[in-house]
Structure 1
């Protein structure tokens, strides 16, 4: 055996105790006559690997408003735990351990499903963070520690509310609290439109098409016009005139008595109060999203999947609606006819016909 071959074999044997891939790379470099030191010197002019704290602003800026709300607590956790570490330093095992910590901390919340939801959101956030790092060429795809991070989802505990349950919620909102007029208006808005909290909070006075009884909703980066009943339209207009007398068209519509615009925090307060009056609400962890489930379930049962998808504002060709919705998606007039059946009120964009309203135990009172 030649001296060179002996040296190469010894080098390979020594390297195999570290990593087979690294050993093979070193052997190849030796065969090509390229010292490892030369490779390191060639990279000294490159931008240093950013830390997690340094790279987070770029990921935040590339995220939608809706996703930011869900991911922000987990971004803060990454910055708190590993802010000073380079983005290529955390390992898969460390990410799994941190995900388990998130689950354990979340188990103490009343509406927690064993912390699985919080863990799932953390995993999604970590995958999103490192997917951007790969696409921005900060790290190579094979070095992505979140690529094999498992997201074990469990069955969603949310369901449509029974007529009796929905009626109890409306009655409690109308008879308790400091501002029942606002709370009943909010519940009516969510029941009629199945909108998300972000859509209600983002509603502006210039989003109301008074002639056609349509409300412009902005949710998850998309905008749509959703039919509302004449009763709800009149209540929204009256609310604006009473609580925003200057009536700036671009100002937020839903407001407290003193004129302050509501935030998502108001929903937390609302459901906490309802839960104190109705223990089953607290036990089940009922939230505004249950109202969305209730309306969309009713729509699907009576008017079919295509109408329910349009009513929900789901984008065509996404994972939930499927490609078929490109061809059979419901029209605005069909959604308006569905709303007329749900509320028992004729709608300007719906064909005139007999309607049967969804029993909810009474219509919420508006101021």
Structure 2
């Protein structure tokens, strides 16, 4: 860009009136605000995200606090982020279906990107200086999920219906997931007001704040309605409940699959559950 002599003279006049020279501007670097530490900024980010995001990233933010809690946001380099990713991948809780810590590494990068995205929005850092953008997520391996054969599903349902302290609840849970293919969180979030009995539809709220109306069979709809009435589920409260009326939690799923695995060794071997494979310690 070129400037006219009049513009340059005007700039010199302004500098002169301020008692400055062009050399002063070159010799004195602009002061930048001191950025917060991770320990100061992560609680701000945590309060700004959804409950689901907080659950997913919480353990990874704790790991970042352990390693970099007192470091400022502009201190870690892309190379140091890569080192932390590799450390996280090699120090996960190893499960039978673990896949080399890939999921943990991917989630750590995503958790850092979430922090730095908020820092960009708060104008604490320039997008060009975001170190998390310069680190690629570990490549996700191909999914090992597959459909359960009808004969195997029949075995699971038979054990569920004949064991445990509440077969009616457990068979309802399995039937619900079989028909809707929803995640565990979708079933736990189900409320009586989410049942449209006239059209046999259920309103599902799942991961990532996704919502959908899902058709189900009249038989399942009747069982859901009867379950809610028998266990005094409030219209706006959780539908699936224990016999004492308390809402179930994800631990019901843990107990259910552990019990099925004790009766069906192939279930225990394949660890058919809703758990992730890689979790930070």
Distance 1:273 1:89, change over 3 A: farther
1:162 counterpart (136, 140, 149) = 149
Correspondence 1:229 to 2:217: yes
Which residue of structure 1 aligns with residue 63 of structure 2? 77
* CA shift digits 1:184-205 (9 cap, x unpaired): 1111111111111111111111
Distance 1:265 1:82, change over 3 A: farther
Which residue of structure 1 aligns with residue 4 of structure 2? none
Which residue of structure 1 aligns with residue 99 of structure 2? 113
The unaligned stretches of length 5 or more in structure 1 are: 1-30, 290-367
Normalized against structure 1, the TM-score is what?
0.63
Which residue of structure 1 aligns with residue 24 of structure 2? 34
Residue 209 of structure 1 and its aligned partner are, at CA, apart by 1.4
1:62-101 paired onto structure 2 within 5 Å = 62-101=48-87
Distance 1:252 1:194, change over 3 A: same
Distance 1:36 1:282, change over 3 A: farther
Distance 1:139 1:282, change over 3 A: farther
Equivalent residues of 1:107, 1:113 under 8 A apart: no
The list of structure 1 runs, each at least 4 consecutive aligned residues, that deviate by more than 6 angstroms after superposition, is: none
CA distance in 2, matches of 1:174, 1:122: 40
Distance 1:277 1:114, change over 3 A: farther
Which residue of structure 2 aligns with residue 184 of structure 1? 171
Which residue of structure 1 aligns with residue 226 of structure 2? 238
CA distance in 2, matches of 1:270, 1:115: 26
More displaced, 55-64 or 161-170?
55-64
Equivalent residues of 1:213, 1:233 under 8 A apart: yes
Aligned length: 253
CA distance in 1, matches of 2:203, 2:239: 12
Distance 1:178 1:101, change over 3 A: farther
CA distance in 1, matches of 2:77, 2:263: 47
Which residue of structure 2 aligns with residue 202 of structure 1? 189
Residue 287 of structure 1 and its aligned partner are, at CA, apart by 2.1
CA distance in 2, matches of 1:82, 1:201: 35
The unaligned stretches of length 5 or more in structure 2 are: 1-20, 276-281
* CA shift digits 1:156-213 (9 cap, x unpaired): 1111111122222222222222222211111111111111111111111111112222
Residue 49 of structure 1 and its aligned partner are, at CA, apart by 1.0
CA distance in 2, matches of 1:286, 1:103: 23
Which residue of structure 2 aligns with residue 143 of structure 1? 129
Residue 252 of structure 1 and its aligned partner are, at CA, apart by 0.6
Residue 254 of structure 1 and its aligned partner are, at CA, apart by 0.6
SS of match in other structure, 1:224: strand
